[in-house]
Amino acid sequence: MLLNLLYVFLFILLLQVLFFIYAVINKTDKVTDLSYGLTFVFGGAFALLLNWGNISLFKILLFSLIAIWGLRLAIYLFIRILRTGKDKRFDGIREEWKRFGSFWLLQAVSVFIILLPATYIFLYPYETSLNTISVLGFIVAFIGILIEGIADYQKFVFKNKTENKNKWIATGLWKYSRHPNYLGEIMMWKGVFVYALVYLNDPALLTIISPLFITYLLTKVSGIPTLEKEYEKRYADDRTYQEYKEKTGILFPKII
C-alpha cells in the first residue's frame, strides 16, 4: 500500500512537471488551473489501475464523483482563462522559473493530500461494497458538485454581461452565500471522506487531512481570504456592497 501511494504521488508530480514545462516555456497561465482538475482525474485513474484486480462498483462510483468534479472544474477554468488571457496571480512570477515552479510543486502536493481518502480506497486490497454511510457521503459529495457547478455557471454568465463590469454577483446562489462555489468544493471532499470512512482503518483515518486541508486552504489561505481582501478594497466605499456583506454569510446563509 505505501509503495503504491508513493507511485501515485510520483505520477501526480510527473503530471505537474509536464504541465509546468509547457507553461514556463510558453510563459502562459492557460494550463495552470486546467492541470489542477485533470490531475485529480488522471491521479485517481492511475491509482485504480494499480489495483485493477480489486475493482468494484464502490470504487467506480467514487471515481465517477472525482471524474465529474475534476473534468467540470478543468473545463470551466480553461474556458475562463481563454477569455481573460492570463491569471494576475502570476504577474511577476511566471517569468521566474524557480518561483513559478514552486507553485506547481505545491499544487502537486495539494492534489495528493486532497485525493488521499479516494486513493486509499482505490488501492484497498479487499472487497468493498456500498453501505449506509457511503451512500450518505456520495449524496453530500454530489450535492457539493452541483452547488459548485451552478455557482460557477451563474458567476460566469454574470461576469460576461457588459452591464455587470466591475460589479459583484448577488443573485442566484450568491444571494445566500458570498462563496457558494467554495462551499460546494468543501462539501465534495468531505463527502468523499465520508464515502470512504467505513474502510478507513486506524492509520488510514489520518486521511481526514484531506477535507481539513481543502477547508483550511479555501477559507484561510488562497481562496476566500484573497477574494475578500480584493473586494473589500475595491468596494470599500460602496454602501450597497457593505450591506450585502453584512447580510450574506461567507459560506452558509445567515439565519438572522
pLDDT by residue (tens digit) across 122-174?
999 999 999 999 999 999 999 999 999 999 999 999 999 999 988 899 999 99
Burial class (CB in 10 A: 0-12, 13-18, 19+), 71: middle
Give me the percent of the chain exceeding a pLDDT of 70.
98
Q: Is the pLDDT of residue 256 over 70?
A: no
- Cα separations in angstroms, 213 against 18, 112, 136, 147, 192: 25, 11, 21, 20, 13
Rounded to whole angstroms, how far apart are CA atoms 180 and 61? 25
Rounded to whole angstroms, how far apart are CA atoms 191 and 185? 10
pLDDT for the residue numbered 70: 97
Q: pLDDT, tens digit, for every residue of 94-132?
A: 767 778 889 899 999 999 999 999 999 999 999 999 999
Contact assessment for residue 129 and residue 56, using Cβ atoms and an 8 Å cutoff? yes
Amino acid letter, 39: T
Mean pLDDT for the stretch of residues 20-26: 90
pLDDT for the residue numbered 186: 98
Return mean pLDDT, the chain: 93
The residues spanned by each domain of the chain are: 1-126, 130-256
What angle do helix axes 132-159 and 57-84 make, rounded to 10 degrees? 10
Q: Of the given ranges (31-45, 57-71, 174-188, 230-244), which has the lowest mean pLDDT?
A: 230-244
In this prediction the pTM is: 0.93
What are 241's three cell numbers?
A: 456592497
End-to-end C-alpha distance for the chain, whole angstroms: 49
Amino acid letter, 205: L
- Read off the pLDDT band of 81 (50, 70, 90): confident
Phi-psi region of 171 (alpha: psi -120 to 50; beta: other; left: phi over 0): beta
Q: Which of 95, 100, 97, 77 is nearest to 30 (CA)?
A: 77
- Read off the pLDDT band of 46 (50, 70, 90): very high
Contact assessment for residue 148 and residue 68, using Cβ atoms and an 8 Å cutoff? no
Rounded to whole angstroms, how far apart are CA atoms 170 and 145? 20
pLDDT for the residue numbered 8: 98
Rounded to whole angstroms, how far apart are CA atoms 98 and 81? 23
Write down the H helix ranges in the chain: 2-26, 32-50, 57-84, 97-114, 116-123, 132-159, 180-196, 209-216, 224-234, 239-247
pLDDT for the residue numbered 107: 94
